[in-house]
Structure 1
Amino acid sequence: MKSFKPLVPFLKRHLGSYVLGVLFLMLVDAIQLIPPHLLGKATDDLKNGLMTPKLLGLYAAAIIGLALAVACGRFLWRMNLIGASRKLEMDLRNHLFNKLLELSPGYYDTHKTGDLMAHATNDVNAVRMFFGPGIVRLVDSVFMTLTTILAMIFTIDFRLTLITIIPLAVMSFIINRFGKLVHDLFKKVQEAFSSLTDRVQESFSGIRVIKAFVQEEEELKNFEKENTKNFNANMRMVKIWGLFDPMVQLMASLSFTAVLIYGGIMTIKGNISLGDFVAFTSYLGMLIWPMMAMGWVINMMQRAAASMERLENIFKEIPEIQDEDPIKINSLEGHITIKNLTFRYKKELKPVLSDINIDLKPGQTLGVTGRTGSGKTTLTRLLLRQYPVPTNSIFFDGIDINDIPLKTLRENIGFVPQDSFLFSDTLSGNIGFAGNFPDEEIIKAAKLSAIDKEIRDFPKGYSTIVGERGVTLSGGQKQRISIARALIKNPRILILDDCLSAVDASTEEKILMNLKSYLSGRTSIIISHRISAIKDCDEIIVLEQGKIFERGNHEQLLEKGGIYAQMYRHQLLEENLLKEA
């Protein structure tokens, strides 16, 4: 039960619903004890010749009235208990989603999407099932068992009751052992489902790559492997659960046999009446269901406990990046200073960036280039504080980045990532993602990123829905929409991380011309492999193996004749060859 401790605040808030639901459920159970007694009385009246049409009508009316009362009671306990469990499900999912949004990007480097999806679906549902149908069955089984046994003792015979419940006591012991097995097995089931979900999610996301490389059969084999693991984990659960039902039926049969033999003898001897015997067998039938329900309760509880443990592992995660006593600041001027920055993703790994020093004044533009894997994107991640930044290494307006509220830092930076991610929304919705912007602002941003004309060519214009991750658009179109999304924020600082790689040279030139006036007075960092995108920057740095290998403006770097000059000559040659072609 320790697994459910985090749910105590929720249970306190909805205590009224649970109390009302339990009361209505107990009332229904109590009413259900009356019909067997009426049936016994009616049997005795028939046997003794006391039954009359009027009395038969009264018995029938009473049973119908009790059935209506049970129906109303069932509706009321369902609305309260099942309703409360649905609220719990909603709260858990909201809490989980909120927690996942809080966690730093580094968390997603080590946790798969499919596994997280399994937490949000299967695990949350398992907890709901216990705190809804599970509570119903728990109350049902405990209350019905106690009241039925008491009714059997006080209205019929103590000795007969005692003989009858001995097999049921053995069944309680079996149920207890059964629950411990279920807990361990269900954890493995959930892990297998998580692995399967992750495989499916990854395959669907990369379906175009799979088809391009004709790997459908290989992917099917991989899926079948994970699916078999999931099947085997579930079958182990089925085997244990499959043993339970026959065991319950066996114990029920033993109890009925005891009633038939011992109760029959007592009826023949006149110790109990025929009506009492009929009522007793009805009570025994009512007792079997609660005992079976207890098995379901144990099953649900162990499943919920296993799932809650998995969810709690996420809830206990502490975000790697969070505000710790930040200063009160709402805006940034854009003065970026980097002093002796050395960064590694893990302690045991070699540095990705080493001894980086940059002083970028407000309104200046910094160009960053270098070979693949030189640390360019890592630099942008640190400027956005997506990973832990060493103290006294990055400053904005003279303030250590770790002392600036994350909200303030990221609101003042317009960022266009290397991987242009678009949501399955309208084009205007993607451009205006950062807030509620009027159509005029959205169109203005689209014009700056040279995508307005192409958007208007779509049948529904800015209302066109793009597919998941923007699959219906070309790479260049996605990049330009991402640029528009950053520009519309009107940020003090703009970071473009190689976001023009998929556009042609003429479109790139048009975008850069549009950005010249936009960037006036703003601090900007442009990362690109193309020299044409950064040649007009106030300062350019060339990264090589995480270090600043060269720095200066375009003319100075060409004069040095180093990596930058070599890249420039190669790109110039490529352009000339393309023109000739």
Structure 2
Amino acid sequence: MSAPAAAKPVEGSWSYLRGKLAWMARCWRPHLHLVWVLVLMTAISAGVTLAYPLVFGYVLEELRSLSAGDATPGRVGELVWILIAVGVARAVAALYPAFRAWVNVRIDVFTRRDYFHVVLGKGPAFFTRFRSGDLVTRLTDDITGYPKIGWFCCSGVFRALESGSRVACCLGVMLYLSPGLSAYALIPVPLMLACYLLLKKHLVRAVEEQREASSTTSDHLEAAFTGVTVVQAGCAEERLCEKLAEQLAEREGAEVRLAQLWVLFSIFFQGLNVVGQLLVVLVGGLWVMDGLLSLGDFFSFYLYLGLLLGPMMDLPNLFVTGRQAFVCMDRLEELERYDLRGAKGAFEGERPLERLEQLSVRGLRYAYGEQPVLAETTLELRRGEKLAVIGPIGAGKTTLVRLLAGQLLAEEGELAINGEPFAALDGVSVRERIGFVPQDPVLFATTVRENVTMGREEDPERVARALDLAGLTEEVARFPGGLDHRLGLRGRGVSGGQRQRLTIARALYGEPELLLLDDVTAALDAENEDHFWERVLSTWPEVTVLVVTHRAATATRMDRQLRLQPVGRGRA
């Protein structure tokens, strides 16, 4: 069920553009000092470029005077200093593109970091909606490179700013030299605008198709590499390669369509610029022959027209690359504003949880689509109690644990801690007091130590205690590097039982008040299972435990048992 969402601004409207400008301003905020440096360097670069024809003309006149013997020695020194100043200014201006490229990278890094934080703050419903490969593409390809967000927010904008100032100044000088000839030079401009308006919608559609094709390819590769052992065991390599070839063919088509539009746009604009030059040469030449324009003014006019051609390409390029960058921004904003009910998980309130005394469930219902899993499920668990949830496969045991962990949102019924509904509680304070261990262990490609602490402040004593309670102390000591032994992707390099116990150690490291364990002893042998419960229950007699299990040894150690049937009915 979706919550009401604010109406999305119409693409191309002023509110849409204003939203994009606000988005870019947010990107610039951490780099304001660099933005001011860019503004200064933009002014220097534009000034050097625009002053060149004037300085060039002045130097030519001085050289003519020198050759005629009219110049004084002081004028020679002045000319030398002018040439040195021009050289220094051009050297500073030459650093401008490199500085822009560096700021591009800074914006790239900060944007990716910020949206990675946004994604990590989302709940399970978000990750059901967005595929892993799609998320990777949005946080990499949509940000990095030309003409994506990192480039556009710096180089794209400041190149256009420099070009705009050059266009304004060049047009001012050209109008001063010859208003009539300026009118001929500007004849192609309306045609350029019409070309942009004609291609705009096609360009946006092509960019969206290209980004979606890229996301689909990334998702396929991520799934294939993650499950490579399953692929090899099922001899499915050929089928996956065929599917990848099909997706790459679609991506190639999208890339080619985008490239064709871009080439068409560039050719048309370059052709119109050439038309403008030809008109100036033809009309200006005739006016010079008729004595309506001096040769010097015509030469200066043509120099400024040459300086105008580059910016005249940069400004329409801003609109074209802007359409592509805006599509990428929309894709990131979609992640940020995703507002499906429960997208943040069950705990969306602000009330902090000080101490977990009681967990209660009343009339709980849940279904996957039209298939009910839990119906009228009720239980109550007080601090220090131990409850085993048992029942056949498909009875909803894992679903119940995920609901209690706040990973799923109940459709009907009440879930409360200390009498407070889940929705009223602050998620961070609740999760700090819950140790949740899923049925499928999740480990990361980092050290044993970091897998246990999981971003929390490291306490060597707590690490040692968590490993001891999980029965891993001796085994970790035998690893190459011990606690600093680096695991492979998804915990490869250790056995299934060790992976499961490492996830248990991670949950125990936080010294939780409530342990939610989903069939975690299934991968343990009888001896390790027995030792695990002895250590945990004797060390933390006050910890509240809810464990899903198929093992009689685990179930009999609990205070009570809740049996769920496939119809989902049960009562503790």
Q: TM-score normalised by the shorter chain: which range applies?
A: 0.7 to 0.9
For residues 436-494 of structure 1, what are the alpha-carbon distances to aligned partners after superposition, in whole Å with 9 as ceiling and x for unaligned? 23323212221221222111111211110111211122111100111111122222221
CA offset at residue 200 of structure 1?
Answer: 1.4
Given that 2:125 and 2:345 are in contact with CA atoms closer than 8 Å, whether structure 1 keeps it comes out as no
Bigger radius of gyration, 1 or 2? 1
CA offset at residue 415 of structure 1?
Answer: 1.5
CA offset at residue 70 of structure 1?
Answer: 3.5
Residue 490 of structure 1 pairs with residue 511 of structure 2: yes
For residues 26-53 of structure 1, what are the alpha-carbon distances to aligned partners after superposition, in whole Å with 9 as ceiling and x for unaligned? 3432332222234445667888996669
Amino acid at match of 2:191: V
The DSSP-based 3-state class of the residue aligned with 1:288 is helix
Correspondences of 1:51-66 after superposition (within 5 Å): 62-66=82-86
CA shift in 2, pair 1:476/1:493, >3 Å: same
What corresponds to 1:36 in structure 2?
Answer: 53
What corresponds to 2:138 in structure 1?
Answer: 119
Amino acid at match of 2:122: L
Amino acid at match of 1:158: P
Query: In structure 2, what is the Cα distance between the partners aligned to 1:397 and 1:82?
Result: 55
For residues 251-292 of structure 1, what are the alpha-carbon distances to aligned partners after superposition, in whole Å with 9 as ceiling and x for unaligned? 232233223333333334444444433333322211110111
Amino acid at match of 1:96: Y
Given that 2:356 and 2:383 are in contact with CA atoms closer than 8 Å, whether structure 1 keeps it comes out as no
What corresponds to 1:353 in structure 2?
Answer: 374
Given that 2:44 and 2:89 are in contact with CA atoms closer than 8 Å, whether structure 1 keeps it comes out as no
CA shift in 2, pair 1:339/1:167, >3 Å: closer
What corresponds to 1:563 in structure 2?
Answer: none
Query: In structure 1, what is the Cα distance between the partners aligned to 2:567 and 2:350?
Result: 29
CA offset at residue 2 of structure 1?
Answer: 4.1
Given that 1:352 and 1:375 are in contact with CA atoms closer than 8 Å, whether structure 2 keeps it comes out as yes
CA offset at residue 422 of structure 1?
Answer: 0.8
For residues 276-312 of structure 1, what are the alpha-carbon distances to aligned partners after superposition, in whole Å with 9 as ceiling and x for unaligned? 3333332221111011112321122111221222222
Correspondences of 1:431-450 after superposition (within 5 Å): 431-433=452-454, 435-450=456-471
**% identical equivalent positions:** 26
CA offset at residue 99 of structure 1?
Answer: 2.2
CA shift in 2, pair 1:27/1:544, >3 Å: same
Match of 1:160 among 162, 181, 189: 181
**Gap regions ≥5 residues in structure 2:** 1-16
CA offset at residue 20 of structure 1?
Answer: 5.4
CA shift in 2, pair 1:260/1:415, >3 Å: same
CA offset at residue 165 of structure 1?
Answer: 2.5
CA offset at residue 4 of structure 1?
Answer: 0.4
Residue 148 of structure 1 pairs with residue 156 of structure 2: no
Match of 2:354 among 321, 330, 337: 330
What corresponds to 2:3 in structure 1?
Answer: none
Amino acid at match of 2:448: L
Query: In structure 2, what is the Cα distance between the partners aligned to 1:11 and 1:101?
Result: 19
What corresponds to 1:105 in structure 2?
Answer: 124
Given that 2:378 and 2:571 are in contact with CA atoms closer than 8 Å, whether structure 1 keeps it comes out as no
Residue 69 of structure 1 pairs with residue 89 of structure 2: yes
Query: In structure 1, what is the Cα distance between the partners aligned to 2:151 and 2:192?
Result: 23
CA shift in 2, pair 1:5/1:31, >3 Å: closer
Amino acid at match of 2:141: N
CA offset at residue 420 of structure 1?
Answer: 0.6
Given that 2:356 and 2:433 are in contact with CA atoms closer than 8 Å, whether structure 1 keeps it comes out as yes
For residues 398-455 of structure 1, what are the alpha-carbon distances to aligned partners after superposition, in whole Å with 9 as ceiling and x for unaligned? 4333333322322222121111101222111112226223323212221221222111
For residues 81-127 of structure 1, what are the alpha-carbon distances to aligned partners after superposition, in whole Å with 9 as ceiling and x for unaligned? 66665554444334322322222112211210111122212333422
**Gap regions ≥5 residues in structure 1:** 552-581
Given that 1:424 and 1:468 are in contact with CA atoms closer than 8 Å, whether structure 2 keeps it comes out as yes
Given that 1:42 and 1:275 are in contact with CA atoms closer than 8 Å, whether structure 2 keeps it comes out as no
Amino acid at match of 1:10: R
Q: CA RMSD in A?
A: 3.0
Amino acid at match of 1:337: S
Residue 201 of structure 1 pairs with residue 222 of structure 2: yes
Given that 2:347 and 2:406 are in contact with CA atoms closer than 8 Å, whether structure 1 keeps it comes out as no
For residues 505-550 of structure 1, what are the alpha-carbon distances to aligned partners after superposition, in whole Å with 9 as ceiling and x for unaligned? 3322332333331352222112112222222222122222142469
What corresponds to 1:461 in structure 2?
Answer: 482
Given that 1:417 and 1:499 are in contact with CA atoms closer than 8 Å, whether structure 2 keeps it comes out as yes
Correspondences of 1:391-540 after superposition (within 5 Å): 393-433=414-454, 435-540=456-561
Higher mean alpha-carbon deviation, 453-462 vs 70-79, is at 70-79
Amino acid at match of 2:53: P
The DSSP-based 3-state class of the residue aligned with 1:148 is helix
Normalised TM-score (structure 1) = 0.85
The DSSP-based 3-state class of the residue aligned with 2:375 is strand
What corresponds to 1:10 in structure 2?
Answer: 26
Query: In structure 2, what is the Cα distance between the partners aligned to 1:338 and 1:480?
Result: 29
CA shift in 2, pair 1:322/1:64, >3 Å: farther
Number of matched pairs: 546
The DSSP-based 3-state class of the residue aligned with 1:544 is coil
CA offset at residue 377 of structure 1?
Answer: 0.7
Residue 344 of structure 1 pairs with residue 367 of structure 2: yes
Amino acid at match of 2:396: G
Normalised TM-score (structure 2) = 0.86
Amino acid at match of 1:331: R
Given that 1:114 and 1:199 are in contact with CA atoms closer than 8 Å, whether structure 2 keeps it comes out as yes
CA shift in 2, pair 1:67/1:299, >3 Å: farther
Amino acid at match of 1:298: F
What corresponds to 2:13 in structure 1?
Answer: none
CA shift in 2, pair 1:263/1:48, >3 Å: farther
Given that 2:401 and 2:516 are in contact with CA atoms closer than 8 Å, whether structure 1 keeps it comes out as yes
The DSSP-based 3-state class of the residue aligned with 2:371 is coil
Given that 2:353 and 2:430 are in contact with CA atoms closer than 8 Å, whether structure 1 keeps it comes out as no
The DSSP-based 3-state class of the residue aligned with 1:166 is coil
Given that 2:379 and 2:571 are in contact with CA atoms closer than 8 Å, whether structure 1 keeps it comes out as no
CA offset at residue 73 of structure 1?
Answer: 4.6
Higher mean alpha-carbon deviation, 287-296 vs 50-59, is at 50-59
CA shift in 2, pair 1:37/1:336, >3 Å: closer
Query: In structure 1, what is the Cα distance between the partners aligned to 2:79 and 2:282?
Result: 30
Higher mean alpha-carbon deviation, 418-427 vs 272-281, is at 272-281
Given that 1:367 and 1:541 are in contact with CA atoms closer than 8 Å, whether structure 2 keeps it comes out as yes
CA offset at residue 502 of structure 1?
Answer: 2.0
Given that 1:353 and 1:375 are in contact with CA atoms closer than 8 Å, whether structure 2 keeps it comes out as yes
CA shift in 2, pair 1:47/1:396, >3 Å: closer
CA shift in 2, pair 1:129/1:343, >3 Å: same
Query: In structure 2, what is the Cα distance between the partners aligned to 1:133 and 1:354?
Result: 58
Residue 308 of structure 1 pairs with residue 329 of structure 2: yes
For residues 292-340 of structure 1, what are the alpha-carbon distances to aligned partners after superposition, in whole Å with 9 as ceiling and x for unaligned? 112321122111221222222222123343655554531113x333222
Query: In structure 2, what is the Cα distance between the partners aligned to 1:502 and 1:171?
Result: 68
Query: In structure 2, what is the Cα distance between the partners aligned to 1:468 and 1:69?
Result: 52
Given that 1:331 and 1:408 are in contact with CA atoms closer than 8 Å, whether structure 2 keeps it comes out as no
Given that 2:365 and 2:412 are in contact with CA atoms closer than 8 Å, whether structure 1 keeps it comes out as no
What corresponds to 1:566 in structure 2?
Answer: none
